Amino acid sequence: MTLKFTDIEGLAWGKLLSVQAAMLRRLEEMLQTEFHVSHGEFEVLLRLVWADDHRRRIRDLADASVLTRSGMSRLVDRLEQAGLVRRETAAEDARGAYAILTTKGQELQAVAEIRIVELVRERFLSLYNEAELQQMGAFWTRFLNHETEHSDS
């Protein structure tokens, strides 16, 4: 057990950071210039599209993201301001609030997703064949399973 990364480790780990930084920068830029939403905001729209009735509790949205509840509360503020989402206090638990996708939000999400798929395919996925993509997926699944098993912090 040495104190520095080996060359192989340095490539596998260090460059992983660069890859995702490069891709996220591009995505952020595209979403901002074409749709005036941040990547985080788009992710919320996407989760609402996936959800039953196009609605999710603020708490759940926060837990599923990198943000805290307060951060998510304000992110929903901005989406509401932009008319992409509306709020509704929960019928079954008056403490909670739902964020609900509006028609406008749904439309924006659909178009933005098409552009994202285009961009990710063009700059990332197209560099690998089917078998390689499958292998990557297997790598990540292994990591995420291990993560949820060991420490659900």
Which residues in this chain contact DNA in the complex, by CB under 7 A?
A: 38, 40, 57-59, 62, 66-71, 73-76, 78, 87, 90, 93-98
Starting at the edge strand that comes first in sequence, how are the strands of the sheet with 55-57 ordered?
55-57, 97-101, 85-89
Of positions 53, 92, 93, 130, contacts its own copies by CB under 8 A: 130
Of 52-60, 77-85, 89-97, 138-146, which part binds its own copies (CB under 8 A)? 138-146
Which pair of structure tokens corresponds to residue 135? 């292998």
What own/partner pairs with CB < 8 Å and gap ≥ 24 does 47-53 have? 48/85, 48/99, 48/100, 48/101, 48/105, 48/109, 49/101, 49/106, 49/109, 49/110, 53/100
Minimum distance from residue 134 beta carbon to DNA (Å): 33
Nearer to its own copies by Cβ, of 8 and 91: the residue is 8
Of positions 70, 89, 103, 135, contacts its own copies by CB under 8 A: 135
C-alpha to C-alpha distance for 84 and 43, rounded to whole angstroms: 13
Binding-site partner at residue 95 among DNA, its own copies, none, CB < 5 to 8 Å by type: DNA
Q: Considering the rule CB under 8 A, would residue 64 count as an interface residue with its own copies?
A: no
CA 96 vs CA 13, 70, 87, 126: distances in Å: 40, 13, 10, 43
Residues that bind its own copies (CB under 8 A): 1, 3-5, 8-9, 11-13, 15-22, 25, 66, 113-114, 117, 120-121, 123-125, 127-128, 130, 132-144, 146-147
